[in-house]
Structure 1
Amino acid sequence: MPTSEYAIEAVGLRRSYETRTGWLRPRRLVIEAVRGVSFQVPRGELFGLLGPNGAGKTTTIKMLNTLLLPTSGRASVLGHDVARDPVQVRRRIGYVFGGDKGLYERLSALDNLRYFAELYGVDPREQKARIPEMLEIVGLLGREQERVEGYSRGMRQKLHIARGLLHRPEVLFLDEPSIGVDPVAARELRALVADLAASGITVLLTTHYMAEADELCDRIAVIDHGVIQAEGTPAELKERVRKLDVMEIEVRDSLDEARMDALRRLPGVEQLSVETGDIADTLQVHVRPSDEVQAAVIAALDGVRTRRIVTREPTLEDAYVAIIAQTDDAERTGDAVQVPA
């Protein structure tokens, strides 16, 4: 029987798609969604995979849980190769994704779990104890007779997790489980995920919420353009920008590329990004601690209507933004982005 010190191991994973563009003169294009991803997740770890939309997170997860075959490279879960031994992998994993799909709305939560328990091959005698246990773990015991169509988004996500745990998986993939959930339900989901990891289940989590990743994850990998750009504990990633200050400047006017380039060229400016808002945009500038540097940034915005300027210490979100901005700058300027062979 295969054994491994790692619950999840990916080595040089690649996934390409072939598509067509144009109508009169169609051309075939090959899109590399994942370009040589490698990482290891020890047993019992809560591992975060972070990245912007289209970075390759979900494609990577789908290769790890056997829903997609890698174009090249290899991956294993609990020592079982995802391409050569997919049945053994599926028996040992659970997959929970964000959103409304994957549940039968006209059925009760109890009937949903009974149905999925049958699909997972859970013995009927075990179901009698297992289903109430799952309902209690996710906090839905007492609401199991209600139709799912009347459930809130947070309750649906809890039911998704209960479904993913029915067959006692050793590895759980959580793909943005708290997306669109209200703050109270999101806090309950975070506590639930932490409890699952504490019970010994290996968890791979994707999320867009940096505070969630900072609170939950033992280690984090940041993926962008299909490549792992950084990896480490939340503290290690934050250390990348620890020696910098973050200037947050609300601007009411749009910043053209010439203005952004002028800001990038200022001595002491390391990274900058713009977060679009309904009323005003927020310019975030990572600078070396210096009154002169901050004054130069403000002077470079002469003629731009500003609303608020705040300087603070960096967070995990700032580290993440700096990593992604560095990658985007490399793509924009044409510099080579390091892709594993």
Structure 2
Amino acid sequence: MPDTGIEVRDLHKEFPVRDRGLFGPRTTKTAVNGLDLDIPAGRITGLLGLNGAGKTTTIKILATLLRPTSGTVRVDDLDSVADARAVRRRINLIAGGERMVYTRMTGRENLWYFGQLYDVPKRELRARIDELLSLVGLTQAADTMVERYSRGMTQRLAIARGLINDPAYLLLDEPTLGLDAPIARDLRRVVARLAAEGTGVLLTSHYLAEVEELCAHVYVIADGRHLAAGSPAELKTATGSLGTVRVTVPQVPPAVAEVATRFGATRTPADGGGEILTLRSPDHMAGPLAAAIVGAGGAITALEIKEASLEDAILALTDGTVPGPVVLA
């Protein structure tokens, strides 16, 4: 079967709700509103937005846990509703903050159970379980009941469960939530390696540094609607997100003041004397600004650089500062 990727077209999902308690009038809430997404094989794609944007609902539809109200999801040209069983064999889901394993079983028993659900051959399954337990650092706890695991250990086991069928497409919904930094770093390395080997990955995360590190392409949504798409760098540029350079100087003679004016830097008093020259720019201006100050006979006692933020770009998109939708690639 050709790896045509996950193709989402005009996806809608509505839920029935009651406005005023159990006996109030029944209405509908739209959680996903006309989304188009492409998650190709061999790429890590991000799905970003504020809380309530529709990210988790979208991922659950892609994972066949929810049926769409309308629209289509195709996985390697298989329909997620009509061919749900075949789709499930090609995907898996890792969701942070949700219990995705059984607490009354050991870690090894959990992986054995889920491996059989995915029809992993028993001879392969034994070796794969040992490999995954080692990967997530649970070899020593493999035969311990999961109810005795810490939250971080339980999440690590959920990661192993999500990889048990060697999925062609991996759906990650806040996968590093609650993980210690070393395990989160190891998971990012595993995900990057899987993508390099051809796995298609969809990632949602509030850790935007994680998104910038991993994702080649990002979709931004709000209220279930598409707002923007492109690489993290393209989104920052399109929304005018600016990096910040702060240079502390002990004195501001006329020549240095002229440099500040020419670069458009603001001047504020520094604690302990001197001034702070602050420049906000989409470009990397720390070097040119510092060189110009020194060239004008000034001295520098401190230099601070803050890169343009993907968080700033998302906030600009979601609060209406930048009109959408913005399609960059």
What band does the TM-score fall into relative to the shorter chain? 0.7 to 0.9
Aligned partner of 1:44 in structure 2 is 42
Query: How many Å apart are 1:245 and its aligned residue?
Result: 5.5
Equivalent-residue separation in structure 1 for 2:235 and 2:22 (angstroms): 48
Aligned partner of 2:301 in structure 1 is none
Equivalent-residue separation in structure 1 for 2:150 and 2:21 (angstroms): 43
Q: Secondary structure at the match of 2:319?
A: helix
Aligned partner of 1:182 in structure 2 is 180
2:320 to 317, 321, 326: 326
Letter in 2 for 1:314: A
Query: How many Å apart are 1:199 and its aligned residue?
Result: 2.7
Alpha carbons 2:243, 2:309 under 8 Å: kept: no
2:311 to 314, 317, 330: 317
Letter in 2 for 1:49: L
Alpha carbons 1:171, 1:201 under 8 Å: kept: yes
Aligned partner of 2:78 in structure 1 is 80
> Which runs of structure 2 are paired with 1:298-317 in the superposition (5 Å)?
312-317=306-311
Task: Tell me the C-alpha RMSD between the 2 structures.
Answer: 2.9
Equivalent-residue separation in structure 1 for 2:239 and 2:314 (angstroms): 10
Equivalent-residue separation in structure 2 for 1:177 and 1:323 (angstroms): 24
Letter in 2 for 1:93: I
> Which runs of structure 2 are paired with 1:35-184 in the superposition (5 Å)?
35-184=33-182
Equivalent-residue separation in structure 2 for 1:184 and 1:161 (angstroms): 14
Q: Deviations over 1:197-236 (max 9, x none)?
A: 2232111111111111011111111111111111111111
Query: How many Å apart are 1:22 and its aligned residue?
Result: 2.1
Query: How many Å apart are 1:42 and its aligned residue?
Result: 1.5
The ranges of structure 1 where at least 4 consecutive aligned residues each deviate by more than 6 angstroms after the TM superposition are none
Structure 1 202/139 Cα, relative in aligned 2: closer, same or farther at 3 Å?
farther
Gaps of 5+ in 2: 246-279, 283-303
Equivalent-residue separation in structure 1 for 2:16 and 2:141 (angstroms): 46
Query: How many Å apart are 1:107 and its aligned residue?
Result: 2.3
Structure 1 33/162 Cα, relative in aligned 2: closer, same or farther at 3 Å?
same
Structure 1 154/185 Cα, relative in aligned 2: closer, same or farther at 3 Å?
farther
Structure 1 311/117 Cα, relative in aligned 2: closer, same or farther at 3 Å?
closer
> Which runs of structure 2 are paired with 1:239-254 in the superposition (5 Å)?
239-242=237-240, 244=242
Larger Rg: 2
1:10 to 8, 11, 19: 8
Equivalent-residue separation in structure 1 for 2:209 and 2:6 (angstroms): 24
Alpha carbons 1:241, 1:314 under 8 Å: kept: no
Letter in 1 for 2:123: R
Equivalent-residue separation in structure 2 for 1:24 and 1:82 (angstroms): 33
Gaps of 5+ in 1: 248-286, 290-309, 331-336
Give TM-score scaled by structure 1 length.
0.72
Equivalent-residue separation in structure 1 for 2:21 and 2:141 (angstroms): 52
Amino-acid identity (%): 46
Aligned partner of 1:235 in structure 2 is 233
Equivalent-residue separation in structure 2 for 1:216 and 1:54 (angstroms): 23
Structure 1 205/38 Cα, relative in aligned 2: closer, same or farther at 3 Å?
same
Equivalent-residue separation in structure 1 for 2:241 and 2:99 (angstroms): 44
Equivalent-residue separation in structure 1 for 2:46 and 2:184 (angstroms): 17
Q: Secondary structure at the match of 2:320?
A: helix
Letter in 1 for 2:168: E
1:201 pairs with 2:195? no
Query: How many Å apart are 1:319 and its aligned residue?
Result: 1.1
- How many residue pairs get matched? 273
Equivalent-residue separation in structure 1 for 2:140 and 2:193 (angstroms): 21
1:211 to 196, 209, 227: 209
